[in-house]
Amino acid sequence: MALNKVRALMKLKPAKESEEGQELEMLITLIEAYEDVHVPMQASDPIAYLEYRMEQDNLKQRDLIPFIGDKTKVSKVMNRKQELSVSMIRRLSEGLNIPINFLIPSGL
């Protein structure tokens, strides 16, 4: 039910400060906590996954600009000098049809 609610909220693209945005962030946190306890997974490396998807889909870093930001920001993220923000994760998930849990680094 929580995952369905997250999907529905993501379609609305709520502002982070809005009630829906805060609900989305809370549900993501709760889902992560549940999965940490009940669904053992190996550590998540969103950048490694993005690199894999870029290779599979024949994408270049410039193709990530709509989801991450300008060329400089994309470069910083891909070189692990800047972490993905919640809004970047949301845009990448929606735009590239990537399961959100593949984009959330372990330890969050």
Two tokens, residue 33: 């906590």
> Quick count: other Cβ atoms within 10 Å of Cβ 80?
10
Give Cβ neighbours of residue 43 (< 8 Å, ≥ 6 apart): 106
How much is the pTM? Answer: 0.58
pLDDT per residue, tens digit, the chain (108 aa), is 888 898 899 889 899 899 999 999 999 999 888 876 766 555 578 999 999 889 989 999 999 999 999 999 999 999 999 999 999 999 999 999 998 888 988 765
The domain defined by 42-108 carries CATH number 2.40.10.480: no
